[in-house]
Amino acid sequence: MRLLIPVSLAAALLLSGCQGGGTVAAPVAVRPSAAPVSPPVTPPVTPSVPARFTGDLYAADRPGMLAPEARLAKPLVYVPDDRGNRVVVIDPATYKVLREEPVGRLPQHVTPSWDLKTLWVDNDMGNSLTPIDPRTGAFGAPVKVADPYNLYFTIDGRSAVVVAERLRRLDFRDPHTMALQQTLHVPCQGVDHADFSIDGSHALFSCEFGGQLLWVDMVHRRVDRVIDLPRETGRRPKPQDVKISPDGRTFYVADENSNGVYELDALSLKLKRFVTTGLGAHGLYVSRDSKDLYVTNRHSGSVAVMSFATGQIRRFFAIPGGTPDMGGVSADGRVLWLSGRYTGEVYAIDTVTGKLLARIKVGGEPHGLCVWPQPGRFSLGHTGVLR
């Protein structure tokens, strides 16, 4: 049973969390946006959250907690190659490349659908999405979609959200047919990655080339705020991946130019602090026990392991000469799978020891890797944001 909870109650839930420590950085500039929005085709629905909120948004992502549909999936690792217009398929048990599948131009990410029944290859320049049947690993006929750099889903599963980076818009589409429902134009350059508020009523999107964040009302489908990030290193910020904390009170934003992670209060959107993690901070992944945040440092060949409880970097996983980018955590939580963006590799890292278990040559420019299946009740998109 699901309980419909309004935004005001979601705010009360967030306020119940305690505040973390750390050095406070300069405040971000937050301003309203006047981004145009087309009229909705269908009336928006109120997002839903579990009737009994446990205090951990990732409580359903524990090892072995596979949804019935995910249990039917064939365990595989899907690696899109930006340069080669293909997806490399890897056996996670043997670390061997099984085959290569041709797809559309510039495949960026492989994204699990909200109902976990389909994996979508986001063919950015190919203007298409290629479906994969996770039960068999078979690739289907591509579906025409404009500029799908990234792909997310509303928390109720009624809409897919295609992140059309080049076109500077978010396209709300039917999650099965991908027929267009509504278009939201965004006032920033390089709209990129996102994560959702505790109840899914809002999402925080990064704008890679504008050094900004967007606070998007996913119910009324409008941009409510534009947030200008400060210059931590004297360079314009280049925000990448976004992740919400298990308790729902903090957003983490990896920034490639600032070499670390911004922490923002999930209610006020005020900057709490900045944490240096390594050169080229890029991807963010939550451990299966919800204790740690894995931060990939693309230019320093490392993964920073940040404790949610203390806010401190408690260790590093070293990948000598590597360029760790995007990926995900295995279903049992024991292996962190990452693409090596500029070295044509895939990395498998033991999450307990930090040991590099495998370094798999795939060639090209591997990007938004998806390891499947993963635990969780439904997918919010990207390479596996499940709740």
CATH number for the domain that contains residue 363: 2.130.10.10
Q: Which amino acid is at 301?
A: G
Question: pLDDT value at position 108?
Answer: 98
Q: Is residue 49 within 8 Å of residue 199, measured between CB atoms? A: yes
Q: With respect to residue 1, please indicate whether it lies within any of the assigned structural domains.
A: no
In a domain, 50, yes or no: no
Q: Residue length, the chain?
A: 387
**Structure tokens, 130:** 């290629």
Predicted confidence at residue 7, as pLDDT, reads 37
Residue 378 lies in a domain: no
Neighbours of 176 (CB within 10 A): 15
Give me the pLDDT at residue 126, please. Answer: 98
Domain assignment present for residue 10? The answer is no
Distance CA 219, CA 289 (A): 30
Counting the structural domains of the chain, the total is 1
Residue 202 domain flag: yes
- In angstroms, rounded to a whole number, what is the distance separating the alpha carbons of residues 82 and 107? 5
Closest CA to 214 of 230, 226, 197: 226
* Tokens found for residue 92: 């996670």
Whether 380 maps to a domain, the answer reads no
| Distance between CA atoms of residues 73 and 75, nearest Å | 6
Tens of pLDDT, residue by residue, the chain (387 residues): 333 333 333 433 333 333 333 433 444 454 544 444 443 433 344 444 444 446 899 999 999 999 999 999 999 999 999 999 999 999 999 999 999 999 999 999 999 999 999 999 999 999 999 999 999 999 999 999 999 999 999 999 999 999 999 999 999 999 999 999 999 999 999 999 999 999 999 999 999 999 999 999 999 999 999 999 998 778 899 999 999 999 999 999 999 999 999 999 999 999 999 999 999 999 999 999 999 999 999 999 999 999 999 999 999 999 999 999 999 999 999 999 999 999 999 999 999 999 999 999 999 999 999 999 999 999 999 999 999
Per-residue pLDDT at 159: 98
* Residue 234, pLDDT score: 81
Residue 232's pLDDT is: 79
Specify the pLDDT at position 54. Answer: 60
Whose structure tokens read 């446990």?
A: 54
Of 179, 113, 96, 166, nearest in space to 370 by CA: 113
Helices assigned H by DSSP within the chain: 7-15, 68-71
Closest CA to 190 of 249, 252, 124: 124
Distance CA 354, CA 91 (A): 21
| CB-based contact 227:199 (threshold 8 Å) | no
pLDDT at 4: 37
Domain, as residue range, for 129: 23-43+55-372
Domain-located, residue 187: yes
